[in-house]
Amino acid sequence: MGQDINNEDVSSTTSKCSKCKNELDHLYQQYQVSQQQHHKLQYQQQHRQEKQQEDLFQYDRDAMFNFGFRKRYRLAMYLFDWVFSLIAALCGAFLFYFLPVRGRLFTLTDPTISYPVVPELIPFPILVTVSMVIPIVIIFLTTLAHKRNWHDFHHAQLGLVQTIAITLMMVAIFKCFIGGLRPNFLSRCDPLIIPGVTVGTGYGGIYYSSDICRGSKSDVNDAMSSHPSGHAGLAAGGLVYLALFLHARLKTFRNRGHLIIYVLVMFCITAALLIGVSRIVDYRHTFMNVLEGWFIGTITAFSMYRLNFLSLFGANNHVSVADFWFWRWAQQHQQQQQQQQSNCNNQNNNQNQPKNNNNQQQQEQMNDSHQIVDINHNNVPIPIVNQQQQPPELQQ
């Protein structure tokens, strides 16, 4: 009778263990599902944070980022930028000095082109010094004293060179294909009218071409290239770009009230305006010519600065695009490492879980073989190791 009771207890214990095993398997499956959902939510949260960071930088992913082109060919792209800027500057210089401008008809009694020839207030060497050399030196000194960052310095210099090159090329294109008579055109043309030989054109024959000019060919060609002002364009390009750079580095309106910073920024803009006005004073351009040059130089300066830095007037206008891309690549590398680590952890957990289940089953079987639960009259479990250790009343 005691043997029957022991067999029933063993069978009931075995059924309970199998039921516990099924419950454990079910709980483990739920745990795996919850872990997958947790990783999915964590990935979505990281993606949302990255999107917020990109919105903060005000920079969207482009095709070069998606295909990794910018990262693989970073040096080649920088080299292309410098080479293209050099080519643009050479094209502008060629158009300025070697390509004849579009001729214009004129009358000998037009007072708007009859001004005398006076010395230039701002010769071309001084223009180059003010609009190119001085900004390069100031950018170098500011970077050296304020923030020694090679990427910022490189992009600042690259943006300045791009501004000058693009402005020079655009002004030269307008001069060659549109042209325009300078206010001192007749004085530089020095026309020769031979009665009975020189014949005008137009109604009444009052219009003449540059064929009647006795001045040098280069001087006459320059006198017919009034539109737009090259001095105003180059001055606005270089000095407005310098003003944007100083405003970004020194933070003009960052609740500090430093008047000297505001004066430095406004001095650059004022110098660009004065250089343009000087071309009106020395009878080289009209006000509209100067205004067109200012417009071209200013738009180019704004565009090239934004091309090399993250914003024009925002809080991150001092951060170069190189720093942004290095930050973005570091974030991407960190995410890849985290993803790889997460995958490795999941694989290790999946490999260790069957071993743990097998060990648990073996331990349960060992416990079942060494422990038999019996019930006495008081319903108290009594551990029994073997038949000899049983109480006398159960041995009977």
List pLDDT tens digits, range 357-374: 555 666 666 655 554 444
| Residues composing the chain | 396
pLDDT given for residue 296 in this prediction: 96
**Is 170 within a domain?**
yes
Per-residue pLDDT at 186 exceeds 80: yes
pLDDT digits (tens, 9 = 90+) for 129-159: 999 999 999 999 988 887 677 888 888 999 9
Please say whether the beta carbons of 184 and 104 come within 8 A.
Answer: no
The CA radius of gyration of the chain, in Å to the nearest whole number, is: 42
pLDDT given for residue 10 in this prediction: 55
Lowest-confidence region among 119-128, 201-210, 315-324? 315-324
**Is 275 within a domain?**
yes
**pTM recorded for the entire structure:** 0.68
Domain count, the chain: 1
**Is 30 within a domain?**
no
Q: 372-375 and 381-384: which strand pairing?
A: antiparallel
User: Which of the four pLDDT bands, split at 50, 70 and 90, describes residue 316?
Assistant: confident
Lowest-confidence region among 16-30, 94-108, 209-223? 16-30
Per-residue pLDDT at 181 exceeds 50: yes
**Is 383 within a domain?**
no
pLDDT given for residue 394 in this prediction: 40
Domain span at residue 313? 63-331
**Is 43 within a domain?**
no
pLDDT given for residue 367 in this prediction: 57
Task: State the average pLDDT over residues 56-72.
Answer: 53
Please say whether the beta carbons of 170 and 88 come within 8 A.
Answer: no
Please say whether the beta carbons of 224 and 181 come within 8 A.
Answer: yes
pLDDT given for residue 126 in this prediction: 94
Task: State the average pLDDT over residues 326-342.
Answer: 67
Cα–chain center distance at 149: 16
**Is 380 within a domain?**
no
pLDDT digits (tens, 9 = 90+) for 194-239: 777 677 888 888 888 888 888 888 889 889 988 899 999 999 999 9
Q: How far is Cα 372 from Cα 391, in angstroms, rounded to an integer? A: 14
Per-residue pLDDT at 31 exceeds 80: no
pLDDT given for residue 120 in this prediction: 92
**Is 122 within a domain?**
yes
pLDDT given for residue 104 in this prediction: 84
pLDDT given for residue 365 in this prediction: 60
Phi, psi of 186 (to 5 degrees): -65, -35
98 CB contacts (<8 Å, ≥6 apart)?
Answer: none
**Is 52 within a domain?**
no
Q: Report the alpha-carbon angle 302-308-312, nearest 5.
A: 45
pLDDT given for residue 7 in this prediction: 57
